[in-house]
A and B are shown apart, each in its own frame.
Chain A
Amino acid sequence: MHRLSEEYEALRKSVEDFAHDVVAPVIGDYYEREEFPYDIVRQMGRMGLFGLPIPEEHGGMGGDYFALCLALEELARVDSSVAITVEAAVSLGAMPIYRFGTDEQRAEWLPRLASGELLGAFGLTEPGGGSDVPGGMRTTARLDGGEWVINGTKAFITNSGTDITGVVGVAAITGERNGKPEISTILVPAGTPGFTVSKKYSKVGWSASDTRELSFSDCRVPAENLLGERGRGYAQFLQTLDEGRIAIAALSVGLAQGCVDESLGYVRDRHAFGKPIGAYQAIQFKIADMETRAFTARLAYYHAAEKMLAGEPFKKEAAIAKLVSSNAAMDNARDATQIFGGYGFMNEYPVGRFYRDAKILEIGEGTSEVQRMLIARQLGLNDL
């Protein structure tokens, strides 16, 4: 059922080796300096990570979304900043262009996004609205002389302000249909006049990733930059976010497993009262619980991905995977930090970084509360 095929296993191992050899030795310093790791991104591009689910004819690796998830898990076992950089670039940046874009849009962006030469981003959340779409959305776009004129602000947008950011998909209200706001997605290339990228946020975690506030002030792009059909923006990002939940689940499982990896090493070396602390049941039970959480959360995301790739409905499974794996990440980060004691509170140890990186997993791409709403809705409880 959930045994990896030879190809998936070879990919997993390749990314595991890469994360261990290339990311692990340097990422702590990038994190400390809150610096975007261009060199690591370049190398991830070289090994095809930004093109995993994109067909070869568009410059990708010809794999599927599960291949992306496996890579994200292995990256996040070592560091979540680089994992979220890939996740946002592929799942939120490139995939909507692949799924909904015209041939011209695909040809213009996909080869460079799939190779990691450029990064994509997606602007949905706004300062006054995250889960509450379209109610909280204020950004508008109107057609004027063959151009979209965009006005508004987007918040917490990953990959939107790097030197290699190529394009941002911006969700905007483009009119009204049957008394409801009509939402569309418009591709805005980096550097378009009227598109301003603010300085980086100071974040609790994911410190080596790029997250910005974006503002649009009479920003004009050609009418053909509309992504897919006008008025389909809401449906587009619901699909994007359903998939994205599986990717965030994979990333969460990676962090949860990374906590186990780090703890297993530490409890052998660290002695207290004459024994390695791993010899004490209090520690053993903690680690057993951590391993159990990571393992079961992994099964949940494998299962959701399996349904998705089979073309079956997977909304509930994706929500469950995201809920259970972000819980696992948070719980494991707390336990690993506790096992490390004072060292766990030091930024120079990976578990300190894991602790800071875990919280956002219960928030981004649908909060845990939203996941519960989705699960309850899938169980038919909304009709009561």
Chain B
Amino acid sequence: MEHARPARAPLGDGARRGERQARVNTGGRRLTMKSGINIVVCVKQVPDTATVRKLRAEDSTIDREDPNSSGVLNELDEYAIEEGLRLKEAHGGEVTILTMGPAKAAETIRKALAMGTDKAVHLMDPALHGSDAVQTSYAMAQTLKKIGFDLVILGSESTDARTGLLAAMLAERLGVPQLSLANKVVVDGSAISIHRVTDYGYDRVESSLPAVVSVVEKTNEPRYPRLKEIMAAKKKPVTTFGIADVEIDPGRIGLAGAYTEVAEFAVAPPRAAGVVVKDEGDGGVKVADFLTSKKFI
């Protein structure tokens, strides 16, 4: 096993393409890695973006049992799973799925296992209902402390709430570095480096493991579940924890104590008609101005 190497300034085209260097201090934490990487991928069941999504009138939380809106594995989590599987294929180890959600979230666990991950942990407890990002990160961190990890991978956000906060909050609670918005992840011994996508190119960020990484959708091409793994998924271990199992304080979770509150909600208005640019000699400029205003150029 190779050990952490000091960060090195990038040479050549990386710098030309706007690469910046950052190094995160890990405080010399010891790794649990013995053979391969112990990877935990956090996933979430979300309402299918292709269907009409609803909030429940009584408490403004997402209706996760709505029969008209099937629950699916959050699309961005598929990239996280794929990255975990690729790192496992390259370095050995294990990929564990961690999800928090009601019983229905087991569907998402099965999909994640069918992609080829090894086992799953399902944090399920009625007391968790309505937890916001701060509370969720607490509950997830408690679970991660219990099950152990070298590397936690998440999608950069979920397609339901879209807060994109969990990776940062988890890293803080776990006291490990966060390497966010990665479109490339490289593990070398107990060192990890990522490319973080930016408006100007990318930053190269390095740290040692253990760490938390969030990935964006350009990271890889998630695999489609194959029949062999679909059939094998049934036999893979799924551990269900209630809040007491991972020492979650019931006072720090749930709708009643949430730090955020949905004050009101409304159905999004139908999309307005697009902007028509009439070319009166300055059409090109107008189009360019429009694209600039939308940050396309």
Contact = CB atoms under 8 A, between A and B. Distances in A.
B266 interface: no
Interface residues of A, number: 17
B15 interface: no
Contact of B230 (A11, A18, A46, A56): A11
Contacts, number: 43
Interface stretch (B30-38, B85-93, B220-228): B220-228
Contacts of A11: 225, 227, 230
A173 B226 CA distance: 40
Interface string A14-52: 110110000000000000000000000000001110001
A305 to B, nearest CB: 15
A10 interface: yes
A61 interface: yes
Given A10-B110, A10-B111, A52 B227 contact: yes
Interface in A310-344: none
A15 B114 CA distance: 13
Interface in A67-100: 67
B215 to A, nearest CB: 18
Nearest to B232: A62
A62 B224 contact: no
Interface in B190-247: 223-228, 230-231, 233-234
Determine the main DSSP class of B at the interface with A: helix
A14 B110 contact: no
A63 B224 CA distance: 16
Given A10-B110, A10-B111, A47-B223, A62 B228 contact: yes
Contact of A47 (B111, B226, B231, B234): B226
A10 B114 contact: yes
Given A7-B234, A10-B111, A10-B114, A63 B223 contact: no
Contacts of A10: 110-111, 114, 225, 230, 233
23 contacts: A6-B110, A6-B234, A7-B230, A10-B110, A10-B114, A10-B230, A10-B233, A11-B225, A11-B227, A11-B230, A14-B225, A15-B224, A18-B224, A46-B223, A47-B223, A47-B226, A52-B227, A61-B226, A61-B227, A62-B227, A62-B228, A63-B227, A63-B231
